[in-house]
Chain A
Amino acid sequence: AQSVSQHNHHVILSEAASLELGCNYSYGGTVNLFWYVQYPGQHLQLLLKYFSGDPLVKGIKGFEAEFIKSKFSFNLRKPSVQWSDTAEYFCAVNFGGQNFVFGPGTRLSVLP
């Protein structure tokens, strides 16, 4: 079955620390990859996406993600987090067709 896993349920960091959130998916074919963020009290927003080409993609607010096909991974990174990055982060994969499969999410808490 097609599935998406996220390594950490809850990550706690201090401001200026580096961030890496893991995402792995179960399928070996062509996929489209996304990271969404949900700030407290707000709707899901697209951070970045990967369809093809350069496996290192840059998104909004200083986030980037690297697609490693051999590892079926699409990890999200940010060199220096801010308190305002406190949110829930979801990895989503399109395995073809119209179906987007979301991971369970990682809650990020950034301490000021």
Chain B
Amino acid sequence: DAGVTQSPTHLIKTRGQQVTLRCSPKSGHDTVSWYQQALGQGPQFIFQYYEEEERQRGNFPDRFSGHQFPNYSSELNVNALLLGDSALYLCASSLATGGNQPQHFGDGTRLSIL
């Protein structure tokens, strides 16, 4: 049973560039959430996608955008990268939306901004 898979594992970008991160949810899951985890901190909620729509968004600027495809996979796009965007980006999937659905996490994409 495939878990949550994320690509790439590591990414190095420079300020001002754009980046796209990808996530395939656990088999059978239809909801994808994205988190940013800075070093030494807990994951911070970016947004959640369900039925190809953004359902809820955390306190992140519009430079952070996303997309969900019909096969439930998802992308996170970040434009105009800043040094502060350096972090581990986590994708989590669950079955349907709702706060009582535990989330299954991928290994993350480590993004470094130079």
Contact = CB atoms under 8 A, between A and B. Distances in A.
Chain B: interface size category: 20 to 34
A49 to B, nearest CB: 6
B99 A90 contact: no
A105 B105 contact: no
B99 A43 contact: no
Contact of B42 (A32, A45, A105): A105
Nearest to A49: B102
B42 A97 contact: no
Q: Tell which of A96, A99, A105 has the most Cβ of chain B within 10 Å.
A: A99
B56 A97 contact: yes
A49 B56 CA distance: 22
Given A43-B105, A43-B106, A43-B108, A99 B100 contact: no
B102 A98 contact: no
Interface in A91-112: 92, 94-105
A102 B48 contact: no
A98 B107 contact: no
Interface in B68-114: 90, 92, 97-100, 102-108
Contacts of A56: none
A17 interface: no
Contacts, number: 61
Interface in B24-65: 33, 35, 40-45, 48, 50, 55-56, 58
A42 B4 CA distance: 12
A68 interface: no
Contact of A98 (B3, B41, B48): B48
Interface string A33-52: 01010000011111001010
B42 A98 contact: no
B106 A99 contact: no
Interface of A: 4, 32, 34, 36, 42-46, 49, 51, 90, 92, 94-105
